Structure 1
Amino acid sequence: MTDSQGETDARTATDPQTAIDAQTEGRRRERDDRVYDHTAGDVQEGVPFIGAGPGDPGLLTVTGKNLVEDADLVVHAGSLVNSELLEEYCADAELVNSVGKDLEELVPLMRDAYEDGREVVRLHSGDPAIYGAALEQMDALEHEGVPTYFVPGVTSAFAASATLRTQLTLNETANHVAFTRPQGETLDPEDDHISEFVEMGDVTTCIYLGTHAVGDTMDRLLAEGHDPETPVTVVYHASWPDEEIIEGTIETIGERLDDAGYRASAMVIVGQAGTGAGYERSYLYGDWANRGPNDGETEADD
């Protein structure tokens, strides 16, 4: 074996699946000590996996902004991250688009840059904890001896609710929120629970990664007997300059979305909370706030 061949072998990463399995097995046995040593927002040693937010550069967190501004290498999620954010905050960094690259390519790229003393940032869209496929990258890097950590971001459901000037939870309208996705190439039909969430009645169902499948999803809801007048609101590119809102119902939204021509990057919100209508005043600033100091006491309290 030549020296150059030996150097090449030394730089080859462990098979990602082997690394993931090893990290997962270790996690089953005990928690990583860093869980107890750090809180979200702490700048830690290693490669940060940062949520870039839904689109608007202003919705990147302060911690995320500081980290990307100091980065030498930013591996980003392609067109899912607003180019204005990259231009404004990453002007001095090498930019690598992760789209089309698998773990076998991404892990050595980030590991080698980190080991060369460069500041490396992995930039995901929204919040990497929601359909981000971040942990598998982090596990593969950790197995290679590269520490990693999360920096939270604003997920598109929150940007959509802000655009719509409403809440995802509203008293007497929606007590719960479900983040979900529809069946398709990456989700088997038995794992699609959208119908169950809608059936509960007081759940705001936020559908990610499913713009292309909205029509089929709504057809299934109709076939399963759901109220065709249930409000559905689609926010395309929430917080981006070309943001657009398409409103309808379970019965009409599929056709309206097809007419608009959007196939990706839209948040689908099923439920009355998306309209901001029909809620009841909460107790927080009503009876509960105005109760006297002895309200709720009984003889047993004395």
Structure 2
Amino acid sequence: MTNTDDTGETSIATDGDDPQQAIDAQGERRREELDERIFEHSAGDEQEGIPFVGAGPGNPRLLTVAGKELLGEADLVVHAGSLVNSELLEEYCAHAELVNSVGKDLEELIPLMRDAYENGENVVRLHSGDPAIYGAALEQMDALEHEGVPTHFVPGVTSAFAASATLRTQLTLNEVSNHVAFTRPQGKTLTADEDHISEFVEMGDVTTCIYLGTHAVRDTMDRLLEADHDPETPVAVIYHASWPDEDVIIGDIGTIADKVEEAGYRASALVVIGDAVTGAGYERSFLYGDWANRGSSESADENASKPEASDD
């Protein structure tokens, strides 16, 4: 059996307790019935169990209020290693026991969190970004739930949103980008048939955000060029979005690989493809158009015909 950790790397499971059985059992339950907690709780509610908290993209100020509160009460924080900014750990987790999850498989992590929770400790599982985006969170949650330990998600700010803020643009723009795709390139985890980056770019009005693909920028751009995509399509690579050492590289499909290789980055960057990178050429939206103020002129005319109010 193989497991995928927070870094996207794959490790071989050891013999002994097999969390795969728990994952399979929870998966079968999902097919048969919905979890009743779906209808009892909303995101942000206080809930029982181990919270899987999104640490955000890096800057400690981008941690959510809910995440900060839970970390403040934590006795044990199992975190995603260097993917979580050490400044955040120092600021919000200094009082707690810290365990780095990198290099540990489910056979080690699940008993660690389960035992601490059953001993009355407040346990927080801290993922980078948002745990729902390439976080390998659900398999941990299913294994814990199978052991009788309740869990829940606490959303975080994903790196695509931090990148958008850094670029001072929107991921969606009227007449430029109507859609956003969160994806990753082919490699050990994704086969060539499962890589749809070229299809997203071909649509034209999609902002394509590539996670876990810094090492594959040249291969990705070469495939796009082989597919006859416009080499001048804008591309941005944001290394460590919102971290103190953040770096922004702007180019296009034809030039970005050389620039990334010159900078020496092989990991921890988000790749954004599409015209939304520059924000050029968008059309004014209907949201604040004349039709939205269709009653305003009539009201203004009525007010103008009335005598001016006096303070006396």
TM-score scaled to structure 1, two decimals? 0.92
Q: Which amino acid aligns with 2:137?
A: A
Residues 201-216 of structure 1 mapped to structure 2, 5 A cutoff: 201-216=204-219
SS of equivalent to 2:140: helix
**Residue number in structure 2 paired with 1:243:** 246
SS of equivalent to 2:124: strand
Q: Confirm or deny that 1:31 pairs with 2:39.
A: no
- Which ranges of structure 2 fall in alignment gaps of 5 or more residues? 1-14, 297-312
Q: Is the 8 A contact 1:76 1:122 kept in 2?
A: yes
Residues 133-148 of structure 1 mapped to structure 2, 5 A cutoff: 133-148=136-151
1:16 to 15, 19, 23: 19
Q: Distance in 2 between matches of 1:292 and 1:70?
A: 51
2:45 to 42, 45, 52: 42
**Residue number in structure 2 paired with 1:299:** none
Displacement of 1:290: 2.6
Q: Distance in 1 between matches of 2:290 and 2:33?
A: 46
Q: When the two structures are aligned, how many residues end up with a matched partner?
A: 282
Alignment RMSD, CA only? 1.2
Displacement of 1:277: 1.0
Q: Confirm or deny that 1:102 pairs with 2:102.
A: no
Displacement of 1:43: 1.6
2:287 to 281, 284, 287: 284
**Residue number in structure 1 paired with 2:156:** 153
Displacement of 1:13: 8.2
Identity of aligned residues (%): 79
SS of equivalent to 2:219: helix
Q: Distance in 1 between matches of 2:281 and 2:245?
A: 29
Displacement of 1:69: 1.1
SS of equivalent to 2:285: coil
Where do 4+ consecutive residues of structure 1 move more than 2 Å? 290-293
Q: Confirm or deny that 1:192 pairs with 2:191.
A: no
After superposition, the C-alpha distances for 1:15-42 in whole angstroms (9 at most, x for unaligned) are 1100000000001111111100000001
Q: Which amino acid aligns with 1:168?
A: L
Q: Is the 8 A contact 1:14 1:144 kept in 2?
A: no
SS of equivalent to 1:91: coil
**Residue number in structure 2 paired with 1:6:** none
**Residue number in structure 2 paired with 1:131:** 134
Q: Which amino acid aligns with 1:274?
A: V
Q: Distance in 1 between matches of 2:290 and 2:190?
A: 45
Q: Is the 8 A contact 1:13 1:108 kept in 2?
A: no
**Residue number in structure 1 paired with 2:309:** none
Q: Is the 8 A contact 1:49 1:121 kept in 2?
A: yes
SS of equivalent to 2:261: helix
Displacement of 1:278: 1.0
Residues 160-171 of structure 1 mapped to structure 2, 5 A cutoff: 160-171=163-174
Q: Which amino acid aligns with 1:188?
A: T
Q: Confirm or deny that 1:69 pairs with 2:72.
A: yes
Q: Which amino acid aligns with 1:181?
A: R
TM-score scaled to structure 2, two decimals? 0.89
**Residue number in structure 2 paired with 1:269:** 272
1:255 to 250, 258, 269: 258
SS of equivalent to 1:289: helix
Q: Distance in 1 between matches of 2:274 and 2:28?
A: 40
2:83 to 52, 56, 80: 80
After superposition, the C-alpha distances for 1:62-84 in whole angstroms (9 at most, x for unaligned) are 00000011100000000000000
**Residue number in structure 2 paired with 1:3:** none
After superposition, the C-alpha distances for 1:158-188 in whole angstroms (9 at most, x for unaligned) are 0000011100000000000000000001100
Q: Which amino acid aligns with 1:101?
A: K
Q: Which amino acid aligns with 2:223?
A: R
**Residue number in structure 2 paired with 1:60:** 63
Q: Distance in 2 between matches of 1:13 and 1:52?
A: 31
Q: Is the 8 A contact 1:72 1:93 kept in 2?
A: yes
SS of equivalent to 2:291: coil
